[in-house]
Amino acid sequence: MNAQSSKSYSLGMSALQRWFQLGTLTLCLLLYVQSATAFTINGTLTGDKLKWANASTDGEFIRPNYWFTPARLPDTTRWVPGTYTTPTDITIELSTGSDHVSMPIKLSGVKYQVSGQFVLASYADIYPVCGQSTIAATTTVLSTGSGFCIADQSIGFDSPQTPFKRYQPVIRLDKTELIQRLKGKPKGMYSGTVTGIISYGFKANISEAVKTYRNIPMTFSIQIAYNPSVITRINVLGNGHITPEYDTYKHTVSGTTGFKISALGYFQNGLSFKLINKDANDYTLKPVMGGSTSIPYSITCQGCSSTPELVNKGSLIDEGIGQVDAPGASIIPFMLNVDFTNVSVKDVEDKSYNDHFTVMFEVLL
C-alpha cells in the first residue's frame, strides 16, 4: 500500500494546544470496548499457488473482505487513527486437529471507515508516526516497524459524532514462508486464531485537556485448505511412428518407438500413473485397413522407481501401474518405450498397423 497525501486543513497553534495540550494538565486514558464478532479468512494453497476466497491482497498485505463494526464508541469532535497496542509480530498455530504448524504473521495496520464530513490537522504525540498513512473517507495506517503508531494527522468534525463506523485489520503473511512451513504436512484444513488490540486517540468531551486512547480487542481466524501436490501440465514428445527392422536370417521383424513425458506441477512425494480403458491383453497393433493378424507389443518405463515393465507382449503386468519417486519436485521427466521384438514375418501382413493406449496420471500421496 502506498502512502497517499490528502488535502489537509490546518488549525492554528493555539487551537491545537487547546485540543491536545501536552502539559502537566494532560490526562491520558486507556479505555476498552467489547471485542468484535470473529471472522475467518479462507485461503487455498495448492502446490505453490495461494488464493484467498474472502480477502484482498495489495502487494505483501492482506485484509479480509469484511468490515468489523465496533460497539458503542463515544462521540468526539477530533480523533487520530492508530494501529495495535499488542505485539504486531506474532506467531499463530495452524492446526487440522492432528497436525500443527507455527506460522509467523505481522499485524501491519488498520483501515477505518470515517464517519461524515471532516477536516484534517497536523498532529504529533509521544507515540511514533506510522510509516504509511492515508487520511480519507477510508483511512489507512500502516506500521513499517513494530509496535504501536499513529497517523501524523487528526480528523476533526463540526460536532461530536462517532469517529469511525467500521474497521479492517491489515496483515502481512509471507506465502513462501507458509509453503515452507507446510512442506511435508498432509493434505487438510489448517486453522488458527489471530488476536490483537487496535487503539485510536480522541478528544474526550468532558474536558478540553483530556486526551483519551481507546482500545478495541479484535479476533479473527485464518483457515488454509492445503493440497500439497498438484499436476499443472503433462507434456508428451514423440510421434509414435515405428519403422520395422527385418532380420532376413531369422525371418523376423522388430520395431521400437518412445514417448518422452514431463509432468509439471508440485509433487510432495512424486507421480504415479496407470494404463486404462483397454482390455488387459489387448495391447496389440492391428491392421489399419482390416486383417486377421496383430502384433503384440510391450511398454516399459525408463526412469520409473517401480518395476519398469508395464506391458509384456500384449498383456498388462500388475495392472499397468508405474511410479516415479520425486519428493519436492516441480517437474518429473521419464520415458515410455514401446516395442515388439522378433515377430515372425509369417504373422504379419504387408499393411500399416496402429493402436493407441491411455495413461492416467496422479500425484503420489
Q: What is the pLDDT of residues 7-50, one digit of tens each?
A: 222 222 222 222 322 222 223 334 333 444 478 999 999 888 89
The residues spanned by each domain of the chain are 37-227, 231-364
- 231-364 folds as Immunoglobulin-like (2.60.40)
Name the helix (H) or strand (E) containing 360. Answer: strand 358-363
C-alpha 209/C-alpha 73 separation (Å) is 20
Query: Based on C-alpha coordinates, what's the Rg of the chain?
Result: 34
Q: What is the pLDDT of residues 304-331, one digit of tens each?
A: 999 999 999 999 999 999 999 999 899 9
CB proximity list for 152: less than 8 A, separation 6 or greater = 122, 123, 124, 129, 130, 133
CB proximity list for 292: less than 8 A, separation 6 or greater = none
pLDDT at 114 over 90: yes
Distances (CA, A) of 318 to 38, 203, 265, 312: 53, 79, 27, 11
Specify the amino acid at residue 345. V
Percent of the chain whose predicted confidence (pLDDT) is above 70 = 88
**H helices then E strands: how many in the chain?**
2, 28
- CB neighbours of residue 347 within 10 Å: 12
Query: If you ran DSSP here, which 8-state letter would residue 347 be given?
Result: G
Cell (9 digits) for 103? 506460522
Nearest to 81 by CA among 133, 17, 7: 133
> What is the pTM for the complete model shown?
0.69
Q: What is the pLDDT of residues 350-363, one digit of tens each?
A: 999 999 999 999 99
